[in-house]
Chain A
Amino acid sequence: MTAQTTLQQAMPHQAPPHQAPPHQAMIDEWYPVGLVSQLDRSGRHTALMGEPIVVSGDDAGNPLVTGGNGRILPVKVRYGHVWSSLGTPTKDIFSIPEADQPGRRFVDVGVVRVRCSPLRAVENFLDIAHFPFVHTDVLGAEPHTEVQNYTAEIRADVDEVWATQVKFYQPQASKSASGGITTEYMYRVPAPTCSVLYKTCPPRPSEWDVITLFVQPLAEDLCDVWPWMALFDDETSMTDLIHFQQMIFLQDRSILENQIPRLLPLDPGMEIPTRADLTSIAYRRWLKRHDYTYGAQLVAR
């Protein structure tokens, strides 16, 4: 069985026929589809929002992405990854100014597949309250479970979700941290399936470490997650940096695969959010406002 047929079998939630093209807003967005460092001529056979695609590179290293019927899809290279779109993107890939800052190390963490909605993968990344219970003794620990007050907003000028002044006690905030510190975070959602996290940088207190989660939506309930980092850390080996982030993300994976409902609910239903969920609420509101509904559940059940 090829990877392609497996993918197609794994897509139970085909969207029902709509009057207007469904999910047009998300079709016109950019998505990560592979690592630049792993481009080869035979290509990566994968999918984007249900459509089989092939991501390959020529001998000069130029990426090529083709869609299900062989048509050439838009392509860009940014932040260590190849990006593509099924539609016609109206704007460029969001900017991460820190990616051009000298002295940072850029870490391709590598792909991890998760059987969950791409939107749920992002939402989980935005949550702090689960740290002591899922990332025990690393990103959190009992009894330090309180999420202090913070600010979450949809910034009109840049049209992004931002959470700032997030503070949390962490036993081992990063590979370069020794001992527990109160870490400060800022979260940013610049695209429906991408989030950028700015975090206290222990070796360089005047700067922020940048940790991103780029999510490739394969289906409404299946995604490939590509974490990427831009860090100030001259001590830790690249492999240790990769393993630290993979360890964190794999602690989340089993939780994500068991969330119910599988799709992210955008309408109030059975859930009762708390103050700690401010970022999630802003994210869901922003998704709904833009009709970013691929992977979302619109009618409360």
Chain B
Amino acid sequence: MKLYDYILSPSCYKVRLMAALAGIKLDLRAVDFHPGLEHRGPDLLSLNPAGSIPILEDGDLVLTESSAMLAYIASLSAPEWLGRASAMETAREQQWLAFSSRLTATLGGARLHEMLLRPGDIAALQAGGVASLRELEAGLVEQRLAGQAFLVTDRPTIADIACFPYVALAPDGGVSLDPYPAIRLWSRAIRSLKGFIEMPGIHRLHELKPEPHLEQDEA
């Protein structure tokens, strides 16, 4: 399975992360996105007319949408990552997968503007990012109240992986995560998963500090 990849792209990282969590090995083909703009060159445009990365090739199958790649990888070797136990799960998963494109457009746009100097209306991108984060925070609080730690149910699904990278990298685009405690708990839960891998700007969890110990007579 071949992934046209860029180390700094959160959308490419979604696919690398899902593959790592599912135990699938990817053949990575580095694309000179910055400064070379290779994704807009003739070779890659012939593969993906949208001019975006990632692109996933597996035999005759060519995928250009990261959510489809997550579904494909999970279906192949980690079906427990699909929310298919009920109509509600299916609906929630589709809802958040579609929602993730708003994160890409807003937080991702702000990040490209602030970091790699891509054009854009930074105030509008950041405002859109904050609105998306507030919606995600509210959704995660609702889930917590229902006793569920992830977006769809009580276990992680491809919807969490689709939303996580652009959220975790929001500060790269000048959008703080400080106001969102539920998002921070959720991010910590994702970073604790067995097989989790990092990307630049998303650090692994360091060893958890021991619980503060309180003596009986101090309590």
The residues of A with any CB-CB pair to B shorter than 8 Å are 1, 3, 6, 35, 37-38, 108-113, 115, 133-134, 136, 224, 237-240, 242-243, 246-248, 250-251, 253-254, 257
Contact = CB atoms under 8 A, between A and B. Distances in A.
Q: Is the interface of B mostly helix, strand, loop or mixed?
A: loop
A110 B38 CA distance: 13
Nearest to B198: A136
Contacts of A246: 7-8, 34, 200
B34 A253 contact: no
Interface stretch (B80-88, B115-123, B139-147): B115-123
Nearest to B124: A1
A108 B37 CA distance: 13
Contacts of B200: 246-248, 250-251, 253
10 contacts: A108-B35, A112-B116, A113-B114, A113-B117, A240-B30, A243-B6, A243-B7, A247-B200, A251-B200, A254-B171
B114 A239 contact: no
Top 10 closest pairs, chain A to chain B, by CB: A110-B35, A250-B200, A239-B32, A239-B30, A243-B7, A251-B200, A247-B7, A247-B200, A110-B34, A254-B201
B117 A239 contact: no
A143 to B, nearest CB: 12
Interface string B16-45: 000000000000001110111010000000
A250 B121 contact: no
B8 A247 contact: yes
Contacts of B34: 110, 246
Nearest to B32: A239
A112 B122 contact: no
**B interface bracket (residues with beta carbon within 8 Å of A):** 20 to 34
A115 B121 contact: no
B204 interface: yes
A225 to B, nearest CB: 10
A251 B204 contact: no
Contacts of A254: 171-172, 201
A251 B199 CA distance: 8
Contact of A253 (B31, B35, B201): B201
Contacts of B116: 110-113
Nearest to A35: B35
A247 B114 CA distance: 17
B114 A1 contact: no
Contacts of B6: 243
A6 B122 contact: yes
Contact of B31 (A37, A108, A239, A248): A239
A38 B35 contact: yes
Contacts of A251: 200-201
B51 interface: no
B119 A250 contact: no
B174 interface: yes
A250 B201 contact: yes
A37 B114 CA distance: 22
B36 A239 contact: yes
Given A115-B174, A250-B8, 14 more contacts: A3-B119, A110-B35, A111-B35, A111-B116, A133-B206, A136-B198, A136-B203, A239-B32, A240-B30, A243-B30, A246-B34, A247-B200, A253-B172, A254-B201
A237 B30 contact: yes
A110 B30 CA distance: 16
B115 A253 contact: yes
Interface in B109-138: 113-117, 119, 121-123
A35 B37 CA distance: 14
A109 B34 CA distance: 8
B115 A113 contact: yes
A243 B31 CA distance: 9
B123 A1 contact: yes
Contacts of A3: 117, 119
A46 B19 CA distance: 40
A86 to B, nearest CB: 21
A258 B122 CA distance: 20
Contacts of B203: 134, 136
A129 to B, nearest CB: 16
A1 B120 CA distance: 8
Interface string B169-200: 00110100000000000000000000000101
